[in-house]
Amino acid sequence: MYAEKKGTLRLREEFEQYLNDKYGDVDVCGNKYPAGSVLLRYDSAAFDNLFDAELDNIPQWLCGACGNEFDTSEKANNCCLKGT
């Protein structure tokens, strides 16, 4: 089997969601907004700094057959190896 690397754009979207889940909503002038989305739009440089720091912790490889996510290309390559 083969492995595919995830696009950075998709990783960024997932990281935004990760921050939203981790930090929840923030209160801005009486309105609630998801924290990751606020950071991305208000201070994208700070968002990118966090993103770079966390990039190693985000699964970046997909099994080309089933789409399962892995942190190394080797694991993704071995995912559907059995039975093929």
Q: Does 81 bind Zn ion (CB under 5 A)?
A: no
Q: Does 63 bind Zn ion (CB under 5 A)?
A: yes
Q: Does 79 bind Zn ion (CB under 5 A)?
A: yes
Size of the site for Zn ion (CB under 5 A): 6
Q: Does 26 bind Zn ion (CB under 5 A)?
A: no
Q: Dihedral sign, CA of 67, 53, 24, 32? A: negative
Q: Does 11 bind Zn ion (CB under 5 A)?
A: no
Q: Does 78 bind Zn ion (CB under 5 A)?
A: no
Contact residues toward Zn ion (CB under 5 A) are 63, 65-66, 68, 79-80
